[in-house]
Amino acid sequence: MDFYFLLFSLFFPRIVMVVYLLMYPQLFPANSVPQWADLLLGVFAPRVLILIYIYQNMGYENIWFAVHLLVMIFAYLGGTRETKRRRRSRDRVD
């Protein structure tokens, strides 16, 4: 898998998948995900789809898999403790 695909997909997963699919199709990760699942996961859960790509191409013992899994957990749970603290203080002011 391409280093830049892995790096930028940490921050902008949907955008990176669209850019690589349209501009760099030869660098798009090889996968065995059905086309309908590619579309649905790409729209609704792109981080999960990227984890599937990493697992199929590099395995789950790769550092990229761990980093993407950690970022996915933070993103879906609402961020870090600092983000939650800011959100609470903002809600009290309103």
Q: Tens digits of per-residue pLDDT, 8-33?
A: 999 999 999 999 989 998 988 888 99
pLDDT at residue 89 is higher than 60: yes
Q: Tens digits of per-residue pLDDT, 34-76?
A: 989 988 999 999 999 999 999 999 999 999 999 999 999 988 8
Tally the residues of the chain: 94
Q: Give which of 58, 50, 37, 62 is closest to 10, Cα–Cα.
A: 50
Supply the range of the domain harboring residue 83: 3-93
Determine the Cα–Cα distance for residues 92 and 32; give it in Å rounded to an integer: 48
pLDDT at residue 74 in the model: 86
Query: What single-letter DSSP state applies at residue 27?
Result: G
pLDDT band at 2 (very low <50, low <70, confident <90, very high): confident
Determine the Cα–Cα distance for residues 78 and 81; give it in Å rounded to an integer: 9
pLDDT at residue 63 in the model: 95
pLDDT at residue 94 is higher than 70: no
Q: What is the number of domains present in the chain?
A: 1
Q: Residue 51: how many CB atoms within 10 A of its CB?
A: 20
The predicted model scores a pTM of 0.78
Question: 46, 20 in Cβ contact below 8 A?
Answer: no
